[in-house]
Amino acid sequence: MAGSGDALLVGLGRAALPAVAQRLAADGYRVLALREADEAPGAFDDIAALLHARAPGFRPDAVVIAAAAPAPAPGGVDAVAVAALMDALDGTLATAGLVAKSLFAAAPPHPARAVVMLDWAVTSTPGRTAASAVMGGLLGLARSWALEFAPRGVTTNAVVVGPDVDGARDPAEEAWLVRRPTADDAAHAVAFFLDPRSSAITGQVLLVCGGRTAGRLTI
C-alpha cells in the first residue's frame, strides 16, 4: 500500500503500537511514536508543542491514537471503584480530546487522517466495566470528530482490535473463526484508513475480529 509523509502514533497512557509502527514504516511513512507514559505529566495536553520540541520538521499527515484498556476488576461491575473509573475516563477521554484539538483543530496544514484503535472491550464484553466505558467513550469521540472535522478534510475512523491471541484456548473451540486476528491484521486496517485513496471514508468502524462478530449485533 502506498504510504508517504509523516505518521504520528499517539499512545495514551501506556499504549504502544509496535505492529502499526512497523507496518507504516514498511509502507514508506516516516513514523514517530509518542507514548504518554514516557513523557512529562500533562505533555499530551499540548501535543503539537511536544512534537515541535521533539521533532521539529515532522509534519504528520496521518495520526493513529490508541489507549491502553484498563485492567479487569475481579468481581465485575460491583467491584469497580467509581473514583478509579472516573480517573480512567478522564485520563483517556479528556486527554484524547486535547490531542485532537491540538492536532486537527489547528490552523492548516493539519493532519488529514485519524484512526482511533479500540480494544475488544467496546463489544459486548462482560467483566471489563472500566475498559468497556473507556473504549465506548473513545468510539464516541472518533465518530464525533468525523462529523466535526469533515469540513476540514480530516477523516476519522475506528479500528476495533480482536481479542488477544493468548494461546490459552483450544483452537478447535473457535473453529468458526476464519482465523485468529493478529496485531499485523489490525495494522493492515489502520494502513487502509490512512491511505490517501481512502479520503472519502470517514466515521466508519472496522472490526478486525477473524469472524467473531459475524452474525451478531456489533456496535
Partner 1 sequence: MAEPPVVLVTGVAQGIGRGITKRLTESGYAVVGLDIADTPPAELVDFERIDITDAAAAAAALDRLTRRHPIVRVVNNVGSSLRENVAESTGDTQRWLNRLNLGSVMLCVQAALPAMRAAGFGRIVNITSRAVFGRETRSAYAATKSALASLTRAWAVELAGDGITVNAVGPGMIDTELFRRNNPHNAPDVTRLRQAVPMQRLGQPEEVAHAVAFFLDDRASYITGQTVFVCGGLSLGTPPPPRA
Query: Which residues in this chain contact partner 1 in the complex, by CB under 8 A?
Result: 45, 76-78, 80, 82-83, 85-86, 89-90, 93-95, 97-98, 100-101, 104-105, 121-129, 132-149, 203, 217, 219
How far apart are alpha carbons 141 and 115 in whole angstroms?
Answer: 11
Task: Determine the residue type at 188.
Answer: H
The beta strand positions in 78-131, using DSSP E, are: 113-118
Query: Are the C-beta atoms of 13 and 38 separated by less than 8 Å?
Result: no
Question: For residue 12, what is its C-alpha cell?
Answer: 495514551
DSSP state of 109: S
Task: Provide, rounded to whole angstroms, the least separation between the CB of residue 74 and partner 1.
Answer: 13
Calpha distance 40→11 (Å, rounded) = 14
Here the cell at position 167 is 494461546
22 or 72: whose CB is closer to partner 1?
A: 72
Integer Cα distance of 128 and 112 in angstroms: 33
Nearer to partner 1, 102 or 186 (CB): 102
- Report the distance separating Cα 203 and Cα 187, nearest Å: 18
Q: Are 102 and 69 in contact (CB under 8 A)?
A: no
DSSP assignment letter at 68: P
- In the numeric block, which cell numbers belong to residue 103? 492536532
> Residue 29 or residue 120: which is nearer to partner 1 going by CB?
120
What is the nearest approach in angstroms of partner 1 to the Cβ of residue 135?
Answer: 6
E strand residue ranges, 68-131: 113-118
**Least Å distance between CB 90 and partner 1?**
5
By C-beta, is 64 or 142 nearer to partner 1? 142
Rounded least distance, CB 27 to partner 1, Å: 28
Nearer to partner 1, 25 or 77 (CB): 77
State the minimum distance, in angstroms, from the CB of residue 83 to partner 1. 7
Cell of 165: 491471541
**Given the complex with partner 1, which of 3 and 91 has the nearer CB atom?**
91
Report in angstroms how near the CB of residue 78 gets to partner 1 at its nearest.
Answer: 6
